[in-house]
Amino acid sequence: QNHARLLITCLDQPGIVAAVSKFLFDRHANIVQSDQYSTDPEGGQFFMRVAFDVPDIKHDENLREDFKTISEKFDMDWRISFADELKRVAIFVSQQEHCLLELLWQLQSGDLTAEVPMVISNHPDHRELVESFNIPFYHIPVTKDTKKEAEAEQLALLKDKVDVIVLARYMQILSPEFVSQHPGKIINIHHSFLPAFVGAKPYERAYERGVKLIGATSHYVTNDLDEGPIIEQDIHRVNHHHRVDDLKRIGGQIERSVLARAVGWHLEDRIISHNNKTVVF
């Protein structure tokens, strides 16, 4: 109820922590958790996350306003989030349901905390499932010819309604225009292998190569396909007994748990992106 999180990125320089600590101390905030990290104390990049409680935070209208004296002094990128202002998540999905279902289920059980104002899909398949969770479902087909219109329709639906977009196995590539409307706010999940198998039929090629590990990576979407800042990764051990279908099934299990962790960390404001990299506190 009184819980807030302050996230900061700026050039490292003496006095940042002292200034932030004093600011919170003067406002009678209790610091619950504080993490900071510097790429290099001399001219590197400084990252900080402070989770804190402020009594009657709701009456403290000016917390963000007041912090500007500090943020401007140190030229900070920063934000303050309040835990009781639930983030609004739009889920994009195609035909595979495993990631969608994991998210809906964790939201229902309280393992994830967010609002889901909409699920958008280029296929009609999951309408019944989504609506059974009392979430509006929008079917917006996408073809090569209609992609521009489809994205316009998606953007209109999303406008001012969502804080983060989760691509839960959404098998369409978003245009740079779309991505630029939600910078740093789109989370994707994709399979990962050692070595990587770029291109079509990755599981078939991983099988042919006899990989011993298969994995998944969740990352923020940038305009470099599957190349945005990595949020979370995990793997599972496999062996020659596993057929292509087994690899896909196990891959799906990893995808849903990795995506759910990444989304959870985003919702708890644990992630700061910088250049093409995340700091996860």
Q: Radius of gyration over alpha carbons of the chain, in Å?
A: 21
**107/60 Cα distance (integer angstroms):** 29
192: burial class by Cβ within 10 Å (0-12, 13-18, 19+)?
buried
Residues 250-279 that bind a copy of itself (CB under 8 A): 252-253, 257, 275-279
210 scored as a contact of a copy of itself (CB under 8 A):
yes
x-or-dash pattern for a copy of itself, window 170-209, by CB under 8 A?
----------------------xxxxx-----------xx
Q: Decide: 99 and 126 in contact? Cβ < 8 Å.
A: no
Which residues fall within 8 angstroms of residue 224, CB to CB, at 6 or more apart?
none
Of the pair 211, 221, the CB lying nearest a copy of itself is at 211
134 scored as a contact of a copy of itself (CB under 8 A):
no
Q: Point out which span in 150-158, 164-172, 173-181, 235-243 binds a copy of itself (CB under 8 A).
A: 235-243
Is residue 226 annotated as a catalytic residue, yes or no?
Answer: yes
Q: Decide: 86 and 113 in contact? Cβ < 8 Å.
A: yes
2: burial class by Cβ within 10 Å (0-12, 13-18, 19+)?
middle
Number of chain residues interacting with a copy of itself (CB under 8 A)? 70
103 scored as a contact of a copy of itself (CB under 8 A):
no
Of 60, 125, 153, 234, the residue at the interface with a copy of itself (CB under 8 A) is: 234
Sequence-ordered strand ranges (E) for the chain = 3-11, 30-38, 45-53, 77-82, 88-93, 115-121, 137-139, 164-167, 186-193, 213-220, 230-237, 271-274, 277-280
72 scored as a contact of a copy of itself (CB under 8 A):
no
Residues 153-172 that bind a copy of itself (CB under 8 A): none
Task: Identify the active-site residue in 125, 226, 234, 246.
Answer: 226
| Local structure of 39: helix, strand or coil | coil
Nearest approach, Cβ of residue 34 and a copy of itself (Å):
5
Nearest approach, Cβ of residue 177 and a copy of itself (Å):
25
**14/41 Cα distance (integer angstroms):** 9
Q: Where in the sequence numbering do the catalytic residues fall?
A: 226
Q: Please report, as ranges, the residues that interact with a copy of itself according to CB under 8 A.
A: 12, 14-15, 17-22, 24-25, 28-38, 41-42, 47, 52-53, 97-98, 101, 105, 109, 111, 132, 192-196, 208-213, 215, 217, 226-227, 229-235, 237, 239-241, 249, 252-253, 257, 275-280
